[in-house]
Amino acid sequence: MRRTPDGRVVVRVWFADYPFQTYDGRPFLDPVRDRAEEFGRAHPDYLIEVTGHPFPAMAEEVARAAEPPDVAGYYASASRLALDTLDRDGLPMFTSVERAVAGREEILGEPVVLNDLEPALREAYTGRGGELLSQPFSVTTFLLYANMDLLRAAGITEIPRTWAEIAAACQKIGPGSITWPIHGWLVQQAVSAQGGVFADNGNGRDGRANRVELDSPEMLAWVDWCRRLHKDGLYHYTGTQGDWMGNFQAFASGRTAFVVDSSKAAWDLVRTGRGQGFEVGVGPMPRNENAPYAGNPVSGDSLWLARDIDPVTRDGALAFLQYLANPVNAAAWHRAHGFVPVTGTADLLLADQGWFAEHPYQRAGTEQLRSGDGSAAARGPVIGPSAGVNAAMTQALEDVLVRDAVPAERFRQATEEAQRLLDDYNADCDVPRTPSSLSIG
């Protein structure tokens, strides 16, 4: 147990930090630091020590820390890394949040919110034993944004919702009318929405993934749709993989009619559109009309609780997690950054306060996540070398679009590359140590 000179118990919480500001221009983690100070005033026996860390480096920094944190925020795709990180005794670094709560309805007077989490979020972070492994904090999904002025000029009155509708709309609007970043995160969304999985053992959720598949029918359907749009001159590629800002700017400048981007970007895109003189509409990520919709996996960060901490520090950490996610604070985090409200009660509070009446586009992320079926596909893959697998998918898609690679052959090669990464990762985990590959991406 760590204490301050005046005897307060120190709870060390590491949050993923991002180069974003709040809507009112403050540093990304300022609202969290405010909550930590409030919690300390309400619980004077505790000091919540908040530090920010670049999200791609979180797993590496936790594993190498001489004194690991009591709580650490990992990106959604890094859940397997969190599960496989071991402490100096060769035991798991983290424990299940739900197990630590142990059925309590409140901790240090703070009401437990786990049963109020949005179902898609619980499903995303639930382990094989049915326990909630980590507590979701910053939540996003991917949405379609449309320049409604350009759509109306082409005789289109509603935002397209399917691949066929998008293709037809783009044909009416003209060349380069849709854009999105070539990135593995978005590819995951497109495949998962069709019910496609990336790995055996229930997408890596019923046990450690041993086999990966990047050339599934769902993947090839997505790649073929992208390829046709590109060949017809309708898809605008900036020429750079993962070029989120370039795609944003293409849409904001009116060069494209559609962009697929994070739900967190809704505020910025809508306000930018107004500043440029056009209306921005927001809808779900386009879906394959020939496949039943499964769901879009959750993106963002969740908070993992260290296993080997004393009961007093543990309860301080758990109480702070519940405080962060109580209705008032979860709603405030949404209002600060546009992340999906993590609980149903926070969503209702925002509605009662008139927030969604004033900002209706901020409901789209929640609505999309609520429409999923809870399947392994909708919950997304849990794979150790997720950064490398994403890179393999990204490069393969670019090769198909730009270099005219044959989709089935190129994604079979990507599967082989990803399988080698997975085999190496799993072999690294066969001995009691933290895996050497801890990249997040």
Mean pLDDT computed over every residue of the chain: 97
Q: What token pair was written down for 300?
A: 């963002």
With a cut of 90, say whether residue 441 has pLDDT above it.
Answer: no
Average pLDDT of 229-247? 97
Confidence grade of residue 431 (pLDDT, cut at 50, 70, 90)? confident
Q: How far is CA 306 from the centre of its chain?
A: 22
Domain boundaries of the chain, sorted by first residue: 9-140+298-352, 142-296+377-429
Confidence grade of residue 395 (pLDDT, cut at 50, 70, 90)? very high
**Does pTM top 0.85 for this prediction?**
yes
Q: What is the pLDDT of residue 128?
A: 87
Higher pLDDT, 184 or 129: 184
* Residue among 59, 173, 143 at smallest CA distance from 360: 143
Strand partners, 287: 162
Q: What is the pLDDT of residue 117?
A: 98
Q: What is the pLDDT of residue 430?
A: 87
Average pLDDT of 401-405? 97
Percent of the chain with pLDDT over 70: 100
All residues at 6 or more sequence positions from 430 whose CB lies less than 8 Å from its CB, including other chains: none
How far is residue 89's CA from residue 270's CA, in Å, rounded to a whole number?
A: 50
Confidence grade of residue 394 (pLDDT, cut at 50, 70, 90)? very high
Q: Which CATH entry fits the domain spanning 9-140+298-352: 3.40.190.10, 3.30.230.10, 3.40.50.720, 3.40.470.10?
A: 3.40.190.10
Q: What is the pLDDT of residue 438?
A: 86
Q: What is the pLDDT of residue 436?
A: 85
Percent of the chain with pLDDT over 90: 97
Confidence grade of residue 439 (pLDDT, cut at 50, 70, 90)? confident
Positive or negative torsion for Cα 388, 394, 396, 402: negative
All residues at 6 or more sequence positions from 315 whose CB lies less than 8 Å from its CB, including other chains: 107, 108
How far is residue 277's CA from residue 197's CA, in Å, rounded to a whole number?
A: 41
Q: What is the pLDDT of residue 424?
A: 96
- Rounded to 10 degrees, the C-alpha dihedral 241/299/161/232 comes to 10
* Residue among 41, 73, 70 at smallest CA distance from 313: 70
With a cut of 90, say whether residue 23 has pLDDT above it.
Answer: yes
Q: What is the pLDDT of residue 433?
A: 81
Q: What is the pLDDT of residue 113?
A: 98
Confidence grade of residue 19 (pLDDT, cut at 50, 70, 90)? very high
Q: Residue 401: enclosing H or E segment and its boundaries?
A: helix 386-403
- Tell the residue number behind the tokens 């599960």, with chain if given: 83
Q: What is the pLDDT of residue 147?
A: 98
Positive or negative torsion for Cα 380, 385, 386, 389: negative
* Distance separating the N- and C-terminal Cα atoms of the chain: 33
**In CATH terms, are 9-140+298-352 and 142-296+377-429 the same topology?**
yes
Among 46-50, 107-111, 347-351, 426-430, name the one with the lowest average pLDDT.
426-430
Confidence grade of residue 233 (pLDDT, cut at 50, 70, 90)? very high
The pLDDT tens digits of the residues spanning 105-157 come to: 999 999 999 999 999 999 999 998 899 999 999 999 999 999 999 999 999 99
Q: What is the pLDDT of residue 9?
A: 98
Confidence grade of residue 211 (pLDDT, cut at 50, 70, 90)? very high
How far is residue 3's CA from residue 310's CA, in Å, rounded to a whole number?
A: 12
- Tell the residue number behind the tokens 């055996």, with chain if given: 200
How far is residue 273's CA from residue 265's CA, in Å, rounded to a whole number?
A: 12
Q: Which CATH entry fits the domain spanning 142-296+377-429: 3.40.190.10, 3.10.20.80, 3.40.50.720, 3.30.1370.60?
A: 3.40.190.10
The pLDDT tens digits of the residues spanning 143-176 come to: 999 999 999 999 999 999 999 999 999 999 999 9
Give, in order, the Cα–Cα distances in Å from 352 to each of 326, 327, 335, 336, 347: 16, 12, 14, 17, 9
